[in-house]
Amino acid sequence: MKLLLVSPHFFPENFKCNDLAFELAAKGHDVTVLSDIPNYPQGKYFKGYSLFRRRKEVVNGVTVYRAIVIPRGKATAVRLAFNYASFVLFASVIALYLAFFKKFDAVIVHETSPITVGIPACIVKKIQRIPMLFWVLDLWPESLSAAGGIENKQVIGFFTWLTKRIYHNSDKILISSKGFEQSIREKGPFADKIHYYPNWADRALGEKKEYTLPEMPEGFIVMFAGNIGEAQDFDHLMEAARLLKEETGIHFVLVGDGRKRPWVEDFIARHSLEKTVHWVGRHPLEAMPVFFARANAMIVSLKDQLIFNLTAPAKIQAYMSAGKPIVMMQNGEGPRIIREADCGYAVPAGDAAGFAELIRKMAQMPAEELERMGASGKAYCQEHFQLDKSIDQMCQWLDEVAGRK
């Protein structure tokens, strides 16, 4: 089949749509990607890319068209708004070109955020009258208020209308979290279109390679790996670290970077947590198995907001695939998976005292029990979050919507 994949991010940025495009191409499909000039997460164009360089290229057999975007910069609200708007504008121009001069059998949308990524996809769908599969990884318009702090009724109303129109034009709505289903059902008669399609574990996380780690502490290590942002509720995560300050055998290791980093560094300094909280910065995905191997437990935390309660963070799969137990501070979908997989413990979002006590409890557990939980999570991951199974399922849906049952 000739497939168009629309995503605001693509290789060399690290997103699941990379696997999706490359694996579909490996199965013999003719895959074209419409994406942006890579600039995530650094906030500036990747080396080798510019307004005039590599706007069209072939990567692993996949043809990639790159729309002009204003880089994210430091990801302030204004800068993100310009980044999102510029992608919709210039990607829509390319979408018109593709719709009139190329022929596709189906469109797949990888919707990380914002919902407007569906606009250029709808242009191709409408002109060529082909099916569209819309993969929801971020729930709109709920994300506007949860992550962006936007409460304006007119703005929320517009994006609610736009979301409904895009869902209406989708032949299948794929949800990365079961928690998304109710919200989508409430937006219209979309129940028959909804299918569960979770993130899969990165293969690179199962391949332990040589990597020189920065100096690591000795003792019980609880590790956070990923974006250091507002959503991850570092206010309460750091409060838990403060409550465990005197437990010098327990160490928090933070791997990553993000907008919240200056606040976290200031908190560490103000509360003299340098001996128990260790910031090691951002490292490549390939290094994560080496970091994970040094951890005794992995941290997942999200704020107590509706959108986050419905979300299953992708790092859950990453931690499970590494065979590590999980300690979680979140409500809703995340704890449900942890309980089902029997791979760790969770306390409600915002419960810093409970989180600290949970970490203290895990630090006192026999190593055999931690290993048992890690193994249980890995087995669950292999059953439910495997790339090969996910690609096969996508191929089945593509055959269905294209009338090739």
SS3 250: strand
Say if residue 33 is in the same domain as residue 178: yes
Say if residue 370 is in the same domain as residue 241: yes
**Structural tokens at position 224:** 């956070």
> Cβ(159)–Cβ(117) under 8 Å?
no
> Cβ(149)–Cβ(186) under 8 Å?
no
The structure tokens 């729309």 sit at 67
SS3 319: helix
Say if residue 335 is in the same domain as residue 395: no
The structure tokens 């003719």 sit at 30
The per-residue DSSP string of 195-207 comes to: EE------GGGG-
Say if residue 26 is in the same domain as residue 70: yes
pLDDT at position 76 is 81
Say if residue 237 is in the same domain as residue 348: yes
Which among 386, 381, 399, 227 has a CA at the least distance from the CA of 299? 227
> Cβ(247)–Cβ(234) under 8 Å?
no
**Structural tokens at position 3:** 């497939």
pLDDT at position 204 is 62
> Cβ(278)–Cβ(308) under 8 Å?
no
- Dihedral in degrees, nearest 10, Cα atoms 314, 329, 222, 373: -70
pLDDT at position 147 is 59
Say if residue 180 is in the same domain as residue 216: no
Say if residue 351 is in the same domain as residue 285: yes
What distance in Å separates the CA atoms of residue 347 and residue 358, rounded to the nearest whole number? 8
SS3 302: coil
- Dihedral in degrees, nearest 10, Cα atoms 273, 277, 283, 287: 160
The Cβ of residue 263 has, within 10 Å, a number of other Cβ atoms equal to: 14
Between vectors from CA 277 to CA 301 and to CA 325, what angle results, nearest 5°?
Answer: 45
Q: Which residues contact 245 (CB under 8 A, 6 or more apart)?
A: 271, 272, 273, 276
Say if residue 191 is in the same domain as residue 281: no
Give me the number of domains the chain comprises. 2
Phi, psi values for residue 217, rounded to 5° = -75, 160
CA 301 to each of CA 7, 180, 384: distance values in angstroms, whole numbers, following the listed order: 26, 19, 22
**Structural tokens at position 394:** 């996508």
Say if residue 96 is in the same domain as residue 239: no
pLDDT at position 129 is 96
Q: Give the residue numbers spanning the domain of 342.
A: 203-384
pLDDT at position 208 is 66
Q: What is the pLDDT along the chain (405 residues), one digit of tens a residue?
A: 999 999 999 999 989 999 999 999 999 999 999 999 999 888 899 999 999 999 999 999 999 999 999 998 887 878 888 999 999 999 999 999 999 999 999 999 999 888 999 999 999 999 999 999 999 998 888 877 765 567 778 888 999 999 999 999 999 999 998 889 999 999 999 999 999 999 888 776 666 678 888 889 999 999 999 888 888 999 999 999 999 999 989 999 999 988 889 999 999 999 999 999 999 988 888 889 899 999 999 999 999 888 788 888 888 988 999 999 999 999 988 899 999 999 999 999 999 999 999 999 999 999 999 999 999 999 999 898 989 999 999 999 999 998 754
What distance in Å separates the CA atoms of residue 359 and residue 346, rounded to the nearest whole number? 10
Q: Which residues contact 26 (CB under 8 A, 6 or more apart)?
A: 61
pLDDT at position 405 is 45
> Cβ(132)–Cβ(107) under 8 Å?
yes
Say if residue 246 is in the same domain as residue 315: yes
Query: What CATH code is carried by the domain that includes residue 16?
Result: 3.40.50.2000
**Structural tokens at position 253:** 């290791």
Say if residue 179 is in the same domain as residue 220: no
Say if residue 218 is in the same domain as residue 169: no
Which among 286, 17, 303, 348 has a CA at the least distance from the CA of 174? 17
Residues in the chain, overall count: 405
Which among 34, 31, 25 has a CA at the least distance from the CA of 2? 31
